[in-house]
Amino acid sequence: FFLDFCFCLFLYCKLVLYIFLYLFKIFFLNSFIYLCFILVLIHFDICLQVLVLIHFDICLQVLVSIHFDICLQVLVLIHFDICLQVLVLIHFHICLQVLVLIHFDICLQVLVLILFHIEYVV
């Protein structure tokens, strides 16, 4: 905000100086005062350019920071999504193994019961 205010202020000063420069050019052509106003105008023009450069440098740094922050968040989300998928896969793999073990245990118990029943009957 401060840099935007300074930018507008220097634009206003530059406009005022151009007006004074034009008036002094009319009344005091080739005079020392006219040269001083040219120097002041050059000074404010350079200051304005420096402020604009600082402003855009700060804006660029902010944009780069935002970009890398978003990239980091996306990478973290991708990482945790992959981790979650792996954990879900491991969980369901373990559940499947447990179900298979339970199934075969039940099947084995049924077979054992059938065998004992056959032996008992015979």
User: Of 15, 99, 2, 111, nearest to 51 (Cα)?
Assistant: 2
Place of tokens 């029943």: 117
Written as one letter, the residue type at 53 is L
| pLDDT tens track for 4-25 | 676 677 777 777 777 777 776 6
pLDDT at 51 > cutoff 90: no
Backbone angles phi, psi at 31, to 5 degrees: -105, 170
3-state SS, residue 29: coil
Q: For residue 12, give the H/E element and its range.
A: helix 2-27
Angle at CA 62, nearest 5°, toward 11 and 3? 20
The answer to whether residues 18 and 38 touch, using CB atoms and an 8 Å cutoff, is no
The answer to whether residues 49 and 56 touch, using CB atoms and an 8 Å cutoff, is no
| pLDDT tens track for 30-42 | 667 667 767 877 8
Per-domain residue ranges of the chain? 2-121
Task: Judge if pTM exceeds 0.75.
Answer: no
